[in-house]
Structure 1
């Protein structure tokens, strides 16, 4: 079959080397090559996107979907959702390798568009794409379909109403009525990438329109829908990049963490059998890495502090103020060819290069920051990597500015480098690389000591972020009270004994935000004056509301209309489905579309003059509206709202149907409340200042050299010590991956602390024990020889742990088990296997709870242990759930009451008479107890338990009995909430923790007598 002229020209263009291609050839000489053309674009929706989306919607799947066997011979429908996702991805990757080759980068750019740093942003959002589609399809913008495209958040007409809030879905609905193709399209993945490259460089609509028109001509509606999601970088297929990376190569996630390069992941790790060497696993100069992030706050501050101070010997943790800026990493290298002798690069947390904004050298005229760093480094510092936060500093007020002003400040500084006003300030809190040495494996305390020695701060330009040492919750609360008073972001608690964990959220860093600390909050009654349509599952309905303050007669410029309100804040969190339905019921038919050309200034006034800041989609007259009770952490300055102030972290508590617009909060009443709160904070400052004077003094250590490379420097690892390994020699090849992660240096320190010696070759000493947890080049070479046993690091950890358990007995080494062996020689296999019984239970080692559970499952032979339910998987899942709660996700049932401790009173000690309880009431209490236990809560039988957060009583409990209970608990420092079973039942029904002070349909009188504290 011959190609036509257009196809020949296209292939010539693809295969002809360009200047960029030559650079890539030089940078990646061993890059993989595909033996065939890329797959058609339609294979992505058909074999990857659609199957993954179906698993997300229907985790179980009907029996009719049992088509192919999974990796272990099971039918695909019998696999759990995690395994099914991996199976779908694995089949796609296998097909690519077979039909195309080993270079999967063209496909990964479309599968993970938000991770592709090589393609610039398109500069196109939903509204612009909607306008161009209207032109491409030649439809009237005022027609039904034109309206639906241009107003994608609003409830559409006819079938489009179901797609409200989903722009790509709305496009599919419109395009399906007038498709250019009904069969699959003919564009290859490589062609789609070429067109997207052109689209990313097109700056004008006349350049973008022909590209979008070609996509419309050559794709069917489903393909075009997924293409739009790629352009918007909003895939939402139900599989994260971690899952895709893990299927592609076991080291893919690690390489992406240290490089932020999708190209490197695809080209350097194209062979799953070749692993990264240890030296390739750390941060590198001028390579953007994925930084460590702070863990989300637990509901109990006591639990957080328990994680921060694991030992009584060293109970200190650090408190840092959480800055309101942009996370920034700075790389610096000495370069004699550069004016000033130093070269700089800046990257954000999302791997965006900001060097153009902050400067690449000391004499860079565009350097809003680097021009001030000529003397910012100590003598002998040749290169380093710093981690910090870029904030905006106001020199006139000597205070930080809000985050949104950062780019404006940098551009202003470029034009007037030494003028008064606002400019960027980099606050540094970590150093990860120094003079050719990766410091991530060192403790935070050691890294901070090194940072203090290598940086010479530049006032209000380049500073080291301060911290306080603490040991108790009281100190955290005092710091939090101070930052709330200063309208700051919150706090970060850090473990000074911890290493730096790339691309992880870990308990070593925990953020404490004031929105969670309800004791610092305020409850305000605000009038709803506007509404905003939601997206996703809230599409087509008003999901957040603009709230206002009633204007007093003396403040109103229009005294003839006393119902006027000023915009004050937006509230979108804390609503249940019943709350939304109730608001709709009381305001139905009273909403009007907000017309920016004719704003309803008679009834409401926004900030920004003609710019109309925070304009709503719909508006309502105050006298027709409802009053919301809103809780917030504090008040902050904002030019986005009419009175110049707004609430930080506002959250809906309940609907105030007992109030109307006349009794809602007025501007003057709010200012009075604000003044009273500020006075209370000032009164507390004295105690805070006295407390800070008694603070523990900081201790310093000097484990790192400032300049040069010290080959003999060791990691200070605070681990158990003993004589278990006396007389033994070790050769540690790799770090430990399981059951806990430990670096190679930490393992060597453990060996040394317990009497052993370690070497860097296997023949440096007789009877050397080789330790490895993954197949590096050296490990593969030893394994190939066939005469060396290679033991996993878990054996070292198990030996130490077992001797700690058996303290007081003579030290002994655990016999090797199959789980300890990375590679076993033929003459040792029988001996190693004989150290377990027929149920794989160790004869010498104490069994953990997890192992015991697995043993029972194996004894029953009911099913295999589900690896996706490991504690690691649960922690990752918990982290992602916490990220998304409040962003439209529904709380999973098993996490609803997680972190709470509940007590159900039984006897008469607390003043209750069991004989009076009816069987129905007992049934409700029993059901409530089972619900909270299933949903992750800890249920305690002892009222003396100090961790109790809630006490649950029956609906018929008398006020006198509650009074007795309150008296019993009155001496406690932290008072639990006393609630009825109705709170548990309604929270379970709504899949969210409802405010305890609300009344519930199943028990309308509960809140009148039982809520405490009020």
Structure 2
């Protein structure tokens, strides 16, 4: 602390200790010149009596019921709303400086709680707070008041207060608390005490502890104070002034410092004197300090692609703009700086767009206990010259099995799992950091450089690591006509959309402008299919939509032709939820046509005619607040970008980016889409999209006379599909009928049309529905509704598309032109296996999954098989057992050089008997080596110890010098059980030369 630190009064000193406690020493070291309040902080109620309520009055918005007051003596009727708001805030800050001191941080973190990063999240939402308040006030959980808080979005009865507070949770709480207050006048809790208690609330996780803390608030606050406290906890203030207004009034440089630091405490403590300004170096981003990133502007709904490109400010000399994919992940910034004290020599920091520190999860070092879910795998991602760097990008989840991005909701789970992964496994889901900007490189700030130059710096600094840290590619375009084809591609891959960027632009912190513009599929012209679906559920909104339905659940009819006495009459499967695209007039029209026909959804007794998503024993996903019978409902025409899989809806699929187009007053509920009609429509749309993509590729590539495949044509009255092709490559599938239900996902993505063409090219027949055809082969790789339906009927095995490729590959290896049915393998080939076929198909593979009838396809399959095998095997090689095993398999060992003398025992005569012929002795020595190397045995001698004879036991061949030597040698054989073949040394030499055992008759001696 500075020597001239002013004296604090006793209450102020006590509050300092209360707020900062054990961390006060660390704070003094980090902020040695921080301001100190000389007096106790203001009462908590002063926030809404002097600031919040007047701001709401000045903005002419409806305040919470607790905040309704007549305009006070400081009215600003002659001022504009903006001027009035500034006056209110300036007066409150001036009063704080006068009555408390220069440390405005305790108040600021309650005024704009959503920007306070020093306090952890409470983990409390509306229903959790409602349950706590029910226990605190000791009201019956089945009482009307309890139900009104729990169901805060539902409208109450007309002409009662609860009707006007629908969608306003804090307003509902005020209604309940005002009936049973412990204090009628304002309480005595100071702002410092509230902050301290909220810190405690953020540190506990059990409901009993949370209830205890709320009881403390309840005893010392009146209902109005409790209402504002709840808004602070939920971080939903809505007081008519933004954080930018408060920061600008506090200090001219406050917003700039907050943008580069995301630290409200630093802003309040470093900029407490408005006369002291930051210089240029203090307003730039710095290493290991979180900043507020640049954001992409929203596309004008009525704007065209041409108008968007014009907004990117092309010049006569440079009309280019960049197209990047918009990723479905979490915006993340990576900081890396040299640090010799850290294992690996580099220290990391990771922060999200909302300044949440994720370093604990992704890692602060390459190695050691601080290596996280990402850093342990990216040591080779940077060029050796990188000393420090700041990267901007998107953290996404990547599925290594499908080699495709996964929805954002799986990111944290994948990261936690990968944090424990030390093997760099190529399976499962993992976090992947896609980088699209470089803002700081080797002590140089790059935000003032053009995007094109920042990208050059990025390419010079980052090499990347496959599926760990990658640089997001971009396309340089020059015409607005290049946008829609790229948008179609990303939609086909279930991506979020595109971002268009101006390569001449600088990086602007915490700002949305036309240099970056995001394009989402719902704005595409003539893309997607308009669908007429019946409304079966409604969801109440919050805020200005409170008390009325803000979105609707749409379903597909199971059987639109069912009669009233049929169980399937009016039965629907939930399909999608839509809330975008409605005007106030549209909402009013729906409300008028359905008024009085809605019923509250009872989770214990759901309506039998509406089936929601989820498991069969508890289908409650996307449960609406109210439901309506299809016969009493309306039909909505909606437009979507594409269809995607989802377990949130009963159909197993849903619409991606659904948007309301119009209310179909000309259609009855029976005119809405049924399940079968939609599936047929979906198949047609997919084929048309595939054809358009093919045509576009052909046009772009301009290849000479590229062969095209026409759209499959269904012949009337016949299930077979006639697809033009160049003629069958083989008759491999001759006699087989294929029902291909879905695209292929693994190991590579192939469309349904491509699979059908491949099968037909090898002699197979194609049908478009389940049939009783002989030798029917059903193929699927996605669990769609029609696939699940076929599984439930248990009439057919369902194969994965990889079986088709395995059959073709094996037939090429076997060079067989005949029809071929590769035996089914349970794990590799079966998408759905009939229970009575389990044992039969398991017999087609060994205990490790290796197929008996199929060669291993690739290295990955070999690795998978070896992975399941025991890690330790017997290390002793038993040669004789190996030889016998090979002979059992019909191997001709005599043709293998190192086995050609197997089961042969050779005796050599004339060596060691005083024979002075050195040439013969050398021949014998070489021949003995040949025999031993070829797997044979050389007979030993007993001349050294016991006599002069050859040990004859087991001898198969006797090598002699000449005919005379043969007679003498045979007489000297010891223990012979039969006559051995006599040959000359030339026989051994010839065998070695030919690499196989030759006939002995031609080499009797010599």
Question: In the alignment, which residue of structure 2 is the partner of 1:180?
Answer: 182
Matched, 1:686 2:688: no
Matched, 1:394 2:386: no
Matched, 1:36 2:39: yes
**CA deviation string 1:45-65 (max 9, x = no partner):** 0011101111222599x9995
Whole-Å separation in 2 of the counterparts to 1:459 and 1:125: 39
Post-superposition offset of 1:693: 5.4
Given candidates 586, 599, 602, the residue that maps to 2:606 is 599
Question: In the alignment, which residue of structure 2 is the partner of 1:976?
Answer: none
Post-superposition offset of 1:38: 0.5
Question: In the alignment, which residue of structure 1 is the partner of 2:971?
Answer: none
SS for the counterpart of 2:391 is strand
| Residues 1:9 and 1:576: Cα distance change in structure 2 (over 3 Å) | closer
| Residues 1:691 and 1:631: Cα distance change in structure 2 (over 3 Å) | same
Post-superposition offset of 1:329: 0.4
SS for the counterpart of 1:623 is helix
Question: In the alignment, which residue of structure 1 is the partner of 2:106?
Answer: 106
What's the TM-score once normalised by structure 2's chain length? Answer: 0.65
Whole-Å separation in 2 of the counterparts to 1:221 and 1:644: 46
Question: In the alignment, which residue of structure 1 is the partner of 2:223?
Answer: 221
Question: In the alignment, which residue of structure 2 is the partner of 1:422?
Answer: 429
**CA deviation string 1:101-150 (max 9, x = no partner):** 11000000100100000000011111111111112112122222222112
Question: In the alignment, which residue of structure 1 is the partner of 2:17?
Answer: 14
Post-superposition offset of 1:690: 5.1
**CA deviation string 1:512-542 (max 9, x = no partner):** 1111123213210001111111111222222
Matched, 1:311 2:321: no
Report if the CA contact (8 A) 2:562-2:569 is conserved.
no
Post-superposition offset of 1:571: 1.2
Given candidates 616, 619, 622, the residue that maps to 1:614 is 622
- Where does structure 1 lack aligned partners over 5 or more consecutive residues? 1-6, 69-74, 696-1014
Whole-Å separation in 2 of the counterparts to 1:635 and 1:23: 54
The within-5 A match list for 1:882-901 is none
Post-superposition offset of 1:623: 2.7
Given candidates 504, 522, 526, the residue that maps to 1:519 is 526
Question: In the alignment, which residue of structure 1 is the partner of 2:261?
Answer: 259
Whole-Å separation in 1 of the counterparts to 2:594 and 2:254: 53
Matched, 1:431 2:438: yes
Post-superposition offset of 1:421: 1.4
Report if the CA contact (8 A) 2:11-2:39 is conserved.
no
CA RMSD of superposed structures (Å) = 2.6
Question: In the alignment, which residue of structure 1 is the partner of 2:348?
Answer: 344
Question: In the alignment, which residue of structure 1 is the partner of 2:475?
Answer: 468
Report if the CA contact (8 A) 2:324-2:475 is conserved.
yes
**CA deviation string 1:253-298 (max 9, x = no partner):** 0000000000011001101111111111111111100000011113
**CA deviation string 1:885-940 (max 9, x = no partner):** xxxxxxxxxxxxxxxxxxxxxxxxxxxxxxxxxxxxxxxxxxxxxxxxxxxxxxxx
Report if the CA contact (8 A) 1:63-1:77 is conserved.
no
- Where does structure 2 lack aligned partners over 5 or more consecutive residues? 1-9, 704-1006
Question: In the alignment, which residue of structure 1 is the partner of 2:640?
Answer: 632
| Residues 1:414 and 1:552: Cα distance change in structure 2 (over 3 Å) | farther
Question: In the alignment, which residue of structure 2 is the partner of 1:242?
Answer: 244
Whole-Å separation in 2 of the counterparts to 1:411 and 1:680: 41
Whole-Å separation in 2 of the counterparts to 1:651 and 1:285: 43
SS for the counterpart of 1:482 is helix
Given candidates 501, 504, 508, the residue that maps to 1:497 is 504
Post-superposition offset of 1:641: 1.4
Post-superposition offset of 1:363: 2.0
Count of aligned positions: 681
Post-superposition offset of 1:553: 8.1
| Residues 1:529 and 1:233: Cα distance change in structure 2 (over 3 Å) | same
| Residues 1:507 and 1:586: Cα distance change in structure 2 (over 3 Å) | closer
**CA deviation string 1:314-336 (max 9, x = no partner):** 11111101111111100111211
Question: In the alignment, which residue of structure 2 is the partner of 1:457?
Answer: 464
Question: In the alignment, which residue of structure 1 is the partner of 2:94?
Answer: 94
Post-superposition offset of 1:633: 2.3
Post-superposition offset of 1:694: 9.1
Whole-Å separation in 2 of the counterparts to 1:94 and 1:443: 42
Given candidates 540, 562, 567, the residue that maps to 1:560 is 567
Whole-Å separation in 2 of the counterparts to 1:502 and 1:173: 42
Report if the CA contact (8 A) 2:12-2:40 is conserved.
no
Matched, 1:377 2:374: no
Whole-Å separation in 2 of the counterparts to 1:49 and 1:8: 26
Whole-Å separation in 2 of the counterparts to 1:383 and 1:651: 45
Whole-Å separation in 2 of the counterparts to 1:446 and 1:578: 49
The within-5 A match list for 1:728-739 is none
Given candidates 325, 336, 339, the residue that maps to 1:335 is 339
**CA deviation string 1:381-412 (max 9, x = no partner):** 11110000011111111111111111121122
Whole-Å separation in 1 of the counterparts to 2:205 and 2:487: 46
| Residues 1:334 and 1:213: Cα distance change in structure 2 (over 3 Å) | same
Post-superposition offset of 1:554: 11
Report if the CA contact (8 A) 2:18-2:196 is conserved.
no
Report if the CA contact (8 A) 2:17-2:24 is conserved.
no
Whole-Å separation in 2 of the counterparts to 1:639 and 1:332: 40
Whole-Å separation in 1 of the counterparts to 2:92 and 2:120: 27
Question: In the alignment, which residue of structure 1 is the partner of 2:667?
Answer: 659
Whole-Å separation in 2 of the counterparts to 1:147 and 1:17: 39
SS for the counterpart of 1:212 is helix
Whole-Å separation in 2 of the counterparts to 1:254 and 1:38: 27
Whole-Å separation in 2 of the counterparts to 1:55 and 1:637: 48
Report if the CA contact (8 A) 1:152-1:164 is conserved.
yes
Whole-Å separation in 2 of the counterparts to 1:243 and 1:44: 16
SS for the counterpart of 2:77 is helix
Whole-Å separation in 2 of the counterparts to 1:239 and 1:691: 54
Post-superposition offset of 1:579: 3.1
Post-superposition offset of 1:500: 0.6
Question: In the alignment, which residue of structure 2 is the partner of 1:847?
Answer: none
Report if the CA contact (8 A) 2:540-2:551 is conserved.
yes
Whole-Å separation in 1 of the counterparts to 2:319 and 2:386: 33
For the pair shown, which has the larger CA radius of gyration, 1 or 2? 2
SS for the counterpart of 1:57 is coil
Whole-Å separation in 2 of the counterparts to 1:514 and 1:303: 17
Question: In the alignment, which residue of structure 1 is the partner of 2:813?
Answer: none
Whole-Å separation in 1 of the counterparts to 2:208 and 2:315: 65
Post-superposition offset of 1:305: 0.8
Question: In the alignment, which residue of structure 2 is the partner of 1:878?
Answer: none
Whole-Å separation in 2 of the counterparts to 1:531 and 1:186: 43
